[in-house]
Structures are given as C-alpha cells and as structure tokens.
Amino acid sequence: MQFPSIEWFNAVQKEAEIEADTFRRMGFCDATMLLALGTGDDARRFILAFEDYGMTSVREVDESESADADFQLSADNAVWREMIENIRTHGEADLEHTLNRLQLPGALALSASDQQNEDLFYRYNQTFQEFFNLSSRVQTEFSVDASA
Amino acid sequence: MSEQLTESVTVPDKLAKMATENEWPLDKLESMLQLFSPFQVQILLDRKMTAAQAERLLSGERPDENAPLYTPEQEEYIDNLKAGKYNLRWLQDQEPTWGVRSSLSSRGLTLMDINKAYAGEPEDVAPTDSMAPRGAVLDPEYPGMGYTMNSKYELWADNVAPLYEEAVSRQWSVTRDIPWQDLKPLPNDLERAQCEFCTFLTEVEMIASDFPAKWLWRMNQHYHEVKMFLCTQAMDESRHLEVFRKRALANGGGLLHARAETELGLANILHAPSYIQGSFLMHVVGEGLVLDIFRAGEFLAQNKVEKEMYRLCMQDEARHVSYGTMHLKYFLENHPDREKAERELHAVAEIAERGFTGFLCNSFIIEPLAVLAGGGIKHIDKGMEAVKIVWKRITDEYLNRCDLAGLDRRSRIVLPAEAPY
C-alpha cells in the first residue's frame, strides 16, 4: 500500500479496530491531526480525525484547509519514511523513532493555532503512538520521491 | 483526645438557641465545642438529649441506655410506620428535573450529556452552601458546609467536564501498564542520572495532589465538575509518585538527593494564599514545566520502561495544564475587577519566573538531564544542548499559555528566552 495515502491510513485504522480493547483501555481521544509530508508544491497533507477510541476519518486536503486541524505535524518525506520503516522493522517505534522523540528536537515540526491545541499532541500521545505502531502490520510502499 | 483544643470557641446562634430550649447551660455547650464540632453537638440536641447525657456521651463512657436514639420527628415517623401510615412526601415534592431523559453520546453517558439534558450548567454564584446535587430540592434549613469558594470564576474552566471524562477514561496502572520486565542494567552514570531525575520527580509530583486536596472542601459543591476533575488529578499524581519511586528503586540504583530549593518551590505552591495563585503556580507554571520535563524524559529514555512511563505521565500532566490554563482564562474574563486581578497575577508570575531558575539552574536537575541526553558523563557537554532546548520550550510554552488565558507576560517576562549557559 502506498504511503502516504488515504488507503494506507485506513489500513492502519483497520488494524487498530482489531486491537480495539487496547485503544479502549487507552481512553478517549478527541483531536484532528494534520500530517504534512514533504515541502513546497509537492507537499501532501492529510487530516486524521480521532474521536472516542480511534481514527474516525481521514482526508487529503490542500493548504487552504490546514486550519481545520487542531495541530499539525510536518516533516520531510525522508523523516516520515524513516519512522515508518523503523516501525516496520521493530514492530513498533524503537527508542529513537517515537513521535515525541522525533518532534522534540524538531525533525517532526509541531504547530497549532494555540498552545491548548498543541498540547493535544501530548494529551493523546499514547493513542497516536500506538496507532502509528500498528503500521508495522501494513505492507507499505513509498512514493518515488519519498526519500527526498 | 484531640489536637484541635482551642482557648475559646464561638457558639453558633442556632446551636445556642437549641441548647437553651434543651436547658443546657451555655458554659457546658462551650466546653463541649472545644473538643467537638457544632454538627456533632447538634446531633445530640436534635435528639433532645439532656446536658448530663451529652456530657457522659462526650466523655467516652459506655452508652447511657436512657439517652434518646431518635429525634422526636423520627419517633413520630416510627409510630406512623407501625400503624401502617407512610409519609410519601418525597412523591409530592416539586421536582425540577423530573422527566429528564438524557440522550447518549457515542462513548456512553457523559457529564456533558447530563448537563445538556436539563440545562444543568452551573450558575455564576452558587445558590446554596450545601452538598445538595445541582438540580435537586433542598430543605429550607440545613447546616451549611462553610464553603469559601462560591463564585464560578474562582474555580471554573469551560473544558472541565470533558477533561474529567477524559481523565477517567485514560487512567493507567503503574504495576500493570509499564513493561518492568524489560528493565535492564544501565551503566552507572546513566543509572545515577535517571535515579536523580526520578528522585526529583518523586518529590515534586504529589504537590499536585496536596494542593487541590487542600482547596477541594472549600469549593462549593454546585461546581462538582471541578471537584471531580481535581480528584482525578490527585489520583494521577499519586500514580506519578508511584512510577518514579518504583523506577528509582527497580534497577540497582535508588533514591538520591532531594534539594531544599525544590522544597521551597513546592511550599510556594502548597501555601499560596488563594486558589488562583496556587492554581497558576501549579497548573500553569509548575505542571507546564514538568510537562516539558516529561517530554524530555521520553526523548532521553534508555529503554521501553522509561519511554512508557514518561509518555503516560505526559498525558496526565497535559490535562492538568489544560484545566489550569482555561481556569486562568475564565478567572480573568469573569473577575469583577479584572485590572486588579491581572496586577496580582503579574506579581505572582514574576515571583514564579524567578523561581523557575530554582529548577532550570539546579545542577541536580539539569546535569542528570544532560548526562542522559549525551549518553553518559563523558558527553555531558553535548547533552547540555538538549537542556537548552528544554529551557526554550518551557519558556515558549509558558508564554503561549499565558497568551491564551489573556495574561500578557510576553512584554514582562523576566526569564531569558534562551538558557544563560
């Protein structure tokens, strides 16, 4: 499955549904996250809506719709690719490739309209991490330019 | 028998009147009130106990079998029941919330669903001094709980009900949810650094249980959502103490050095003269700082155990910061004299900012962080670069939260944006 794509995120959500008990135990998660992949004109953006115990919708958006999200995580394609490949290799993110580990020094840039929205990234971090960890079960192919 | 003995007591008017009606000498009532609360004594007066019977009871002797157990009203009710007559007044009351049927949300029945179902939002000023549920009928005469926080702006935050729901649903267990079996021995310098860091966190975390607990009973029950949320916070912080204490003692290290400087910061919060001052110091300043420290802890984790514990604590802490920020906003927006409130909070903020240095220039905090970040004592210089990032994040996010709440610290902050080392 191609990364990034709506199909890829839905495939991860399908895996999350298999692990519904784990996500229920982690608790409610109400946030919309914009993932920005790549830079410039070729950048792609996806808004993932999390509600209750998991992702309820995903859509690809253009720059003008970016404000619809509570917060944004953006990085070069290479950063995303390294993270996804690392998860695939280890079955989950290793110590160097968790979302917070990548975000704190700025490899993944976190932004939001205000601090309250930015803090949602921390408030639901366990759910987001578990969601991305489940991508280890999704056969992933990267776009030609994904290492750019 | 009691550590509450006082030289003189004030006799409540109602109790004095009841004592007179029961022919209790006032001096006996006063001496009883030196050891017992007016509410305890009222229970005896309600039962028409004689002063001698009350004195005997309060001296701790065996029960006087002639002392009345029931109030006159209860005796009458018992007689009626024996005669097959029920009271049934509870069926005749006017019930303001009768007929309410709340719809469910996708996740079950939330506080928000309930509040929406019967216009149950709290009023700006609490209508009673009781624990009667909002929406219930209350007897015209009741003892009064003695709450001191009876206005909404003193404690409310618009996000408090969803935060409570979130807190309850995102609880976790230190014993069960941390993969302790994955803990492996670390080089001595890294273990010492982690243990020093965990000693600090074990020391500081439960201030965020003690502080709300201190204020909880003063908050009017009309605003139960706030009290419920603060109870979850107290539980969260208890768990944080547990996790850091366990980590310090689980891997061949131990609890290390607790600093007087840290104690001063904690005392500053616990003994804040008002809830808003303490909440600002704790929820916005202190927990905002600790939130970034947890994020740094996750970043620097040497194993999965540390990764999980910092990440889970980070989630809890972010909820507390969220309440504190939105409470500060509500407080300022609804304070009857905003200018005065802002002036007071600017002074509190400036003291807090100067107090920040007790953490960010504390060798027992930043050097262990630097050792963990650098991967060992040999690379402490490299690790200090990460400490500088933490300094910048802490100050940036603190200013952002103040902005959001409407307290302009950006033009006044005394802390430099960049670390001075």
Lowest mean pLDDT among A65-74, B45-54, B143-152, B329-338: A65-74
Is there a contact between A119 and B321 if contact means CB atoms under 8 Å apart? yes
User: Which residue segment(s) compose the domain that A115 sits in?
Assistant: 2-136
Closest Cα in chain A to B107: A52
pLDDT of residue B118: 75
Q: Is B303 helix (H, G, I), strand (E, B) or coil?
A: coil
pLDDT at residue A100 greater than cutoff 90: yes
Site from A52, A95, A98, A124 to mutate, B interface, most B CB atoms within 10 angstroms: A95
Q: How many domains are there within chain A?
A: 1
- Give the pLDDT confidence of B315-369 residue by residue, as tens digits: 999 999 999 999 999 999 999 999 999 999 999 999 999 998 989 999 999 999 9
- Give the pLDDT confidence of B272-330 residue by residue, as tens digits: 999 999 999 999 999 999 999 999 999 999 999 999 999 999 999 999 999 999 999 99
Reply yes or no on domain B152-405 having CATH 1.10.620.20: yes
Residue A110 phi/psi, 5-degree rounding, is -110, 130
Site from A119, A121, A124, A131 to mutate, B interface, most B CB atoms within 10 angstroms: A119
pLDDT of residue B1: 42
**Chain A hits for B160, Cβ within 8 Å:** none
Residue A142 lies in a domain: no
Residue A144 lies in a domain: no
Touching check for A80 and chain B: CB below 8 Å? no
Touching check for B302 and chain A: CB below 8 Å? yes
- Give the pLDDT confidence of B55-71 residue by residue, as tens digits: 999 899 999 999 999 99
- Give the pLDDT confidence of B369-387 residue by residue, as tens digits: 999 999 999 999 999 999 9
Q: Which of A70-74, B6-10, B298-302 has the highest mean pLDDT?
A: A70-74
**A95: CATH:** 3.30.1050.10
Alpha carbon of A118: minimum distance to chain B alpha carbons (Å):
10
Q: Which of A26, A28, A100 sits opposite B295 (nearest CB)?
A: A100
How open is the CA angle B302-B303-B304, to the nearest 5 degrees?
145
Its pTM stands at: 0.94
Closest Cα in chain A to B296: A104
- Give the pLDDT confidence of B233-262 residue by residue, as tens digits: 999 999 999 999 999 999 999 999 999 999
Contacts 24+ apart (CB under 8 A), B174-182: B174/B239, B174/B242, B174/B243, B174/B246, B174/B309, B177/B308, B177/B312, B178/B243, B178/B246, B178/B305, B178/B308, B178/B309, B178/B312, B179/B304, B179/B305, B179/B308, B180/B246, B180/B250, B180/B305, B182/B303, B182/B304, B182/B305
pLDDT of residue B3: 47
Alpha carbon of B210: minimum distance to chain A alpha carbons (Å):
22
B 279-298 residues with CB below 8 A of A? 291, 295-296, 298
Residue A50 lies in a domain: yes
**Chain A hits for B162, Cβ within 8 Å:** 30
Alpha carbon of B264: minimum distance to chain A alpha carbons (Å):
28
pLDDT of residue A29: 97
